Chain A
Amino acid sequence: MPPAAVTTTFRRRIALLGVLAVLSTGLLGARLIRLTVDRGEALRAKAEARLVRTSTQPTLRGSILDRHGRVLAAEHSSWEFAVDFELITGAWQRRQALRQARSETGRRAWSQLGLGAREAAILERLDEWNTRVEAVWLEAERQTGLDRAELDDDLDAIKRGVGRLAVRVWDQQLSRLIQSRGDDDAHESFRQGPIAEQRAMHVLIRGLSDTEAFPMRKAIHDLHAATEVFGASSDPGFEIRDSHVRERAFDHAIVHIDTSKFPVDLRRNGTVAVEVDGVAKTLIGSTRPTVQAEDVERRPYRTPSGERDLSGYRPGRDSVGSSGVEYAFDERLHGTIGLLERDLASGTTLLAIEPEPGRDVVLALDVALQARLRALLSPELGLLRVQQWHYGWTKDGMPRPSPVAMGTPLRGAAVVVDIETGATLAMVSSPSPGDVEFSPVERALINARGEAIQALSDEEQTQRRALLALAPYTNRVVETAYAPASIVKPLMYVAGVSDGVVAIDEAIECRGWYRCERCKPRCWTWRPEKKLFGYHGALLPVDAIRESCNVYFYTVADRLGVDRLEEWYQRWGIGDPIMEGVARGVRGTFIPNKTAIGRLIFGIGQGSVAWTPLHAAIAYARLARGGNYVAPKFLVDPAPTSSPTAEARTWNARAVEGALQGMRESAQRGTASSIRLAHRVKEPILDFDSLPGGAPTIWAKTGTAQVEGQPSHGWYAGLVAPSGSSTPQYAFAVVIEHGHSGAPSAGPVAAQLIRQLAAEGYLGREATAGSTPVEWVAEVGSP
């Protein structure tokens, strides 16, 4: 018998093992209860969700049209031809040859073959696969007219691009590994694995039609069938994929501009054809084909509560509005995708939702007028270049000096608003993206940030500032605010009369300057530094507007006071919300200045006040309506949702009449009527006598917004009605950045703007006679 102690110890230890077995099983049991009881329902739902295959059907993005129904942007369903990167490198063909060799040799026999024998078997079949691939290329050539040399170049470009990318990715991966593992270990363990692009399909041809795509699809199908024979279930070398292409039309035009009524120095023989590209590009904006994280965050396909929003975005490929109207109305344009849910086990359809195409957006814009104004602002015609008449000549006939060289391109903007509806017919900014092409060095200067800017030389800093000022992607009509300057004077008169601080026919004496506490602002005629001591004397309101007398409007502003001035500026729309659909528009600014000089210069649109050209046109449109508010409209459909601002005070009707009378006289014989050329030769700005159907009726006002240390901005704003009509129909505003003076710089542009309005039929059918319609280039893309 073994000793009792040994047996007892042994049995105790056996018992301990038993207890451990029960305890460990108990722990697993507890986990099982958690899985089956606590989380059972959730896990079953998760498992059953995998029985449901959800497939989506793409939607078609809505179109963008102009006011006359011209389709500016539309999405077309098409096909794209893509190729596997490994097929480009030849690895795909080799893989298929290997599969075929292995299949034909038999797995067991293959496993006994040496490396040399295997290689020989692969090479023996490689040509066969190259021939099969060649058949697809030939079909692509037949269907698309693909040039073989170009194709080889494209394939080489893809190879080189992916190769460069791979090197960058591997460098980054190695750097990260060195950080985490140290230099030696990182170099030893790092392997250059294939990057995503080396496993991906690369698109070679986009926008294929059904008739082009289907024969190619058949050729690709034959190739795939051959791969399947040798066991490849899914190894496509080529793909014909569904793709939607956003096409733009009415984007590229040739506009014929009659230069016979340009300022004499710019006149050429007859009509000049100006080519403009990206006519409404900054307004319409653009789309991108891939969804980014910000899109998913903005409009998630899965709401936070887990529900599905079929109009939302999922990571991957989709057409997303990234700027302009495309961005502002992305939700409306995008539409909702279709959804099909099938139970894989039973094959039944659980849910079928048809895709709904996005809804169209109709702009108030007239793209033909837009193209015409784009042409006008093209530096090619000279209206937007520095000219000597912007600066004038001395009494001795000597040209006044200019800080910039003659002929230097200028920047500017023009806008036309329909007074009755508030519709913006054209909004043009120059330079536009189509006008400027930055060199790589310039692009690097523009994109410099932080310390890189500090490192730039003085010369580079200056160049960078100049490049930034060009801002081709800035729509100056809505994105840049300028001091209103004297174009605010007619409105200021209405404010003074309406608030009872100025009598309707009150004459105010201009002595060349205005006396206030510790300041002595002057009229534009009084320039002691040039030994000019002009003054207007006693002026009635109409005369004050016509002559643009500063003293008269210092007086009105002084009497109104800052608070009422601010109210009136707000009433003219300076703080109104940005028009719906206009991306990146800015509100105007009015910063109350309680000093005497600050208060006074608000009266002539200077000081801490600024508005955009659109604000100016809207304010003038309101003046033309006698103060009645009509919301400005960039869109026809959807109808804007903004509501009219509350009107606390009415505009004095007689004052409105007086203001319009002043503007009319300004256009006829005042500051807005003419420019002075060399030898002080006076040339009328608004010479429309030869216009078919008669000269339109024009109300206008100029303005010169002073900019410290640089030439002033020039304004020319007004109203226009068809010949014989005394009811203004369109309001317009033109601003020329650093144009030095309003009438000489912006006046000729405004005059030609009115001619283009006439050419498009806005000033009566007769006025279109003799004008050449806008010639659209590559309009074929328009549906």
Chain B
Amino acid sequence: MSSVGTRSTFTARGLHAQARLLQLGRMRWSSPAWVVLAAAVALSILGDKAIATTEPGIAARQAMFLPIAIVAALLVALPDYRNARRFVPVMAVLSLGLLVFVLLPFVPSWIVRPYNGARRWINFVVMDFQPSELAKVVWVLAMALWLRGGGATLRTWRGFLFAFVVTAVPMGLILVEPDLGTALLFIPTLLAMLLVAGARILHLASFVGVGLILVWAVAFGPVKSYLKPHQQARIDALIYQLQGDDRFQDDIGFQGDRAMTIVGSGGVDGLGAARTKTLIRFNALPEEHNDMIFAVIACRWGAYGAAAVWGLYLLFAAGGLAVAALSRDAFGRLLAVGVVVMLFLQMLINTGMTIGVLPITGMTLPFVSSGGSSLVMTWVMVGLILNVGLRRPRRMERWETASGDR
């Protein structure tokens, strides 16, 4: 800073760098990021009330975590995100290390507590922590950093596919845990980031086309016969469920059937807290405060409640995408898009499985489902959007968009 005003050798690049430094830390208070914050707060409060429908104790704990999560978000929002770039490689190594750690067979079970055969959680005494939650955030940061100036490279097949190779590392580790739901978030989010980063539509469309063919082959085509019997049964159960055939309702389609029944029971206006609690209890809806929280909302507040959740998520997405659109920094844009798409996708998968259009994968509804570490990490992502949105825009230089300032 002190070099400004001194007489020294001037270069255009040096001047730009100094100008950038001058802008660091300057806030732009008028930002769509507040919309994101408001939507996130509303969703969190709604979630807490929904959890309280059946589990007041868990709701109280969740309410205790909410201020912590918001503070975490603010802490993330305050320092200029652009400074975080230098820490991304370290965070990536740490995150991958934790993902490997949970898979190590010799780690005592009091540290990595297996649950339903999955090794996803590390016991931090006061709370359990999921490394995959951290991995999502770090991966978005890393990809945003890597894609921010890669316009020319991304427009080749090699550059385009390399992004998937990089993504396959954390995704593969999460799949091994196994946590199929979280792993599934990576590819669509990467596609969205690639779209925004300037990848060719032909490449994207080809990839999506191949993906759809694969889905068809798994669900109906030749690949299905190679799946394990329980996997085939799950696919069959989903197809029957979509057709309104409840033959699997007490077997493999139990959770899906109970969720749909509870959602439908709410009707348009909802049944209120007491009736909802009763119906959920005697219908034995599993994970009602967690993965199935959307069913609780739809039952308690009816279609209006469900629409409110989706409305808040659309508001959240609109705010987040507006933040990206207004940002003059490619890293910030990609970061905002990555975070918004990942959270929005998570919402689509969670609510989709609750209303019976997607298979049950064990995915929480961000902000709304109970879970301390999940809430904190989700709010950390909000903090990242806030950070991008509240930074005063600076001029984007030609060389930044062309070849990147690595």
Of the listed stretches A6-14, A566-574, A650-658, A755-763, chain B binds A6-14
A16, A27, A44: the one contacting B195 at CB < 8 Å is A16
Nearest CB in chain A to that of B228: its residue = A189
Question: A36–B261 contact, CB under 8 A?
Answer: no
Question: B302–A47 contact, CB under 8 A?
Answer: no
B151, B283, B313: the one contacting A25 at CB < 8 Å is B313
Question: B261–A17 contact, CB under 8 A?
Answer: no
Question: A32–B263 contact, CB under 8 A?
Answer: yes
When distances are taken between beta carbons in the complex, the residues of chain A under 8 Å from B306 are 32, 36
When distances are taken between beta carbons in the complex, the residues of chain A under 8 Å from B351 are 28
Chain B nearest CB, measured from A35 CB (Å): 4
Question: B310–A111 contact, CB under 8 A?
Answer: no
When distances are taken between beta carbons in the complex, the residues of chain B under 8 Å from A25 are 310, 313-314, 348
Question: B396–A17 contact, CB under 8 A?
Answer: no
When distances are taken between beta carbons in the complex, the residues of chain B under 8 Å from A6 are 151, 198, 401
CA of A21 to CA of B307, assembled, Å = 14
| A69 CB-CB contact with B under 8 Å | no
Question: B401–A37 contact, CB under 8 A?
Answer: no
| A22 CB-CB contact with B under 8 Å | yes
Question: B263–A35 contact, CB under 8 A?
Answer: yes
When distances are taken between beta carbons in the complex, the residues of chain A under 8 Å from B218 are none
| A345 CB-CB contact with B under 8 Å | yes
Question: B355–A28 contact, CB under 8 A?
Answer: yes
Question: B398–A2 contact, CB under 8 A?
Answer: yes
Question: B110–A28 contact, CB under 8 A?
Answer: no
A9-B198, A22-B314 known; A35+B337 contact, CB < 8 A: no
CB-defined interface of A179-206 with B at 8 Å, one 1/0 digit per residue?
0100000000100000000000000000
Question: A36–B313 contact, CB under 8 A?
Answer: no
Nearest CB in chain A to that of B199: its residue = A13
CA of A47 to CA of B284, assembled, Å = 10
Question: A35–B264 contact, CB under 8 A?
Answer: yes
A29, A37, A44: the one contacting B265 at CB < 8 Å is A44
Question: A28–B395 contact, CB under 8 A?
Answer: no
Chain A nearest CB, measured from B354 CB (Å): 9
| B231 CB-CB contact with A under 8 Å | no
A32-B306, A40-B264 known; A18+B337 contact, CB < 8 A: no
| A103 CB-CB contact with B under 8 Å | no
Chain B interface extent, by class: 35 or more
Chain A nearest CB, measured from B262 CB (Å): 6
Chain A nearest CB, measured from B150 CB (Å): 13
Question: A111–B263 contact, CB under 8 A?
Answer: no
When distances are taken between beta carbons in the complex, the residues of chain A under 8 Å from B317 are 18, 21
Question: A35–B282 contact, CB under 8 A?
Answer: no
| A225 CB-CB contact with B under 8 Å | no
Question: B321–A17 contact, CB under 8 A?
Answer: yes
* Interface hits, B318-356 → A, CB 8 Å: 318, 321, 324-325, 328, 333, 337, 341, 344, 348, 351-352, 355-356
| A43 CB-CB contact with B under 8 Å | yes
Question: B195–A47 contact, CB under 8 A?
Answer: no
CA of A24 to CA of B347, assembled, Å = 11
A36-B298, A37-B268, A44-B265 known; A1+B348 contact, CB < 8 A: no
When distances are taken between beta carbons in the complex, the residues of chain A under 8 Å from B260 are 35, 43
Nearest CB in chain B to that of A108: its residue = B110
Chain B nearest CB, measured from A24 CB (Å): 6
A2-B398, A25-B314, A111-B110 known; A36+B282 contact, CB < 8 A: no
CB-defined interface of B352-367 with A at 8 Å, one 1/0 digit per residue?
1001110000000000
| A630 CB-CB contact with B under 8 Å | no
Question: B110–A13 contact, CB under 8 A?
Answer: no
When distances are taken between beta carbons in the complex, the residues of chain B under 8 Å from A108 are 110
CB-defined interface of B263-281 with A at 8 Å, one 1/0 digit per residue?
1111110000000001100
Q: List residues of B whose CB falls within 8 A of some A CB.
A: 108-110, 151, 192, 195-196, 198, 225, 228, 244, 260-268, 278-279, 282-284, 298, 302-303, 306-307, 310, 313-314, 317-318, 321, 324-325, 328, 333, 337, 341, 344, 348, 351-352, 355-357, 395-396, 398, 400-401
Q: List residues of A whose CB falls within 8 A of some B CB.
A: 1-3, 6, 9-11, 13-14, 16-18, 21-22, 24-25, 27-29, 31-33, 35-37, 39-44, 46-48, 50-51, 108, 111-112, 180, 189, 344-345
User: 10 A-B residue contacts at CB 8 Å?
Assistant: A2-B401, A10-B325, A17-B192, A28-B348, A28-B351, A28-B357, A31-B356, A33-B303, A35-B355, A344-B282
- Given A31-B355, A44-B264, 18 extra CB contacts under 8 A: A1-B396, A2-B398, A2-B401, A3-B401, A10-B196, A14-B196, A14-B325, A17-B321, A18-B317, A18-B321, A25-B313, A32-B298, A36-B263, A40-B265, A43-B261, A50-B279, A111-B109, A345-B278
Ranked nearest first, the 7 interchain pairs of A and B with the lowest CB-CB distance are: A43-B264, A44-B265, A40-B267, A35-B264, A2-B396, A47-B265, A36-B303
